[in-house]
Structure 1
């Protein structure tokens, strides 16, 4: 189906359930119900701007933008950040993500922003390719580390003297 039959607009409360289902498809580590609760919280706190692509009034894709105080590789602050973008599998490779991004970019330019940033996990090569296809430029690669701070058996002593 051609992309010209797709409309893009901001997501509103009637879109929350289908949006949560699409979010679950992208981020399957939590249930659609948990995503719905997160969406409601995001909207209540006005913690971002979320766009949807619709075909015949059915949500087929979404993109979420937040404003971060800083993002690695950026030249401006604060910076709009593409937190997530997803197109249903049957609607991929039709320019729908590009259509979403075109609307987002126009809205951000109108608000005075000069760049849009994003990230992708290092192993997600298809996301890297998609970002390059959409005109993003890779700025740096980072590996995050985590060290759990369980109860230290030496906690009765001063760490500096240990």
Structure 2
């Protein structure tokens, strides 16, 4: 399995983001992708297995994460494996690669989040050794 910067294939990156973040507007996706491209603390990678693009992982370094004591904390902002490639154990390999990425950034903890209704993703995280820390509803306000 290999990982390449998502910026190298903008159209595929956008397509995979639409599958992962289908509740967001296309405009939001494009704006966030531009932010990721310019960011020093966010990265996005396309996942390739046997020469075929099979998914996407978006990572960040966060100063604080609920349930974590270190800083920075490596954070999985999004992870997506295309239909037909799930259930083959590829996710474990992706997480192992993410752990190495996190260590290379000086992190000692890896965190993630899952929507309350996404039971499949919750099971995925738990099967790989993630421990649940909190259940919350997040809010924001434009200023």
Counterpart residue number, 1:27:
21
- Asked whether the 8 Å contact 2:60–2:75 carries over to 1, the reply is yes
Provide the rounded CA distance (Å) in 1 between the counterparts of 2:139 and 2:16. Answer: 29
Unaligned runs of 5+ in 2: none
User: Could you say which residue in structure 1 is the equivalent of 2:40?
Assistant: 46
Query: Is residue 132 of structure 1 aligned with residue 126 of structure 2?
Result: yes
2:31 and 2:138 map into 1 onto residues whose CA distance is 28
In the alignment, is the contact (CA less than 8 A) between 1:80 and 1:113 conserved in 2? yes
Cα gap change, 1:33/1:17 in structure 2, threshold over 3 Å: closer, same or farther?
farther
The residue that corresponds to 2:137 in the other structure is: 143
Q: Give distance in 2, aligned partners of 1:58 and 1:75.
A: 38
Between stretches 68-77 and 32-41, larger displacement belongs to 32-41
3-state SS, counterpart of residue 73 of structure 1: coil
Matched, 1:101 2:87: no
Contact 2:6/2:13 (<8 A) preserved? no
CA displacement at 1:30 relative to structure 2: 3.4
Displacement after TM superposition at 1:31 (Å): 5.0
Q: Secondary structure at the match of 1:82?
A: strand
Within the candidate set 75, 79, 82, 2:73 is matched to 79
The TM-score, its normalising length taken from structure 1, stands at 0.76
Task: Output the CA distance in 1 between the equivalents of 2:98 and 2:127.
Answer: 16
**Offset, 1:55:** 3.2
How well do the aligned residues superpose, as a CA RMSD in angstroms?
Answer: 2.3
Q: Distance in 2 between matches of 1:12 and 1:97?
A: 18
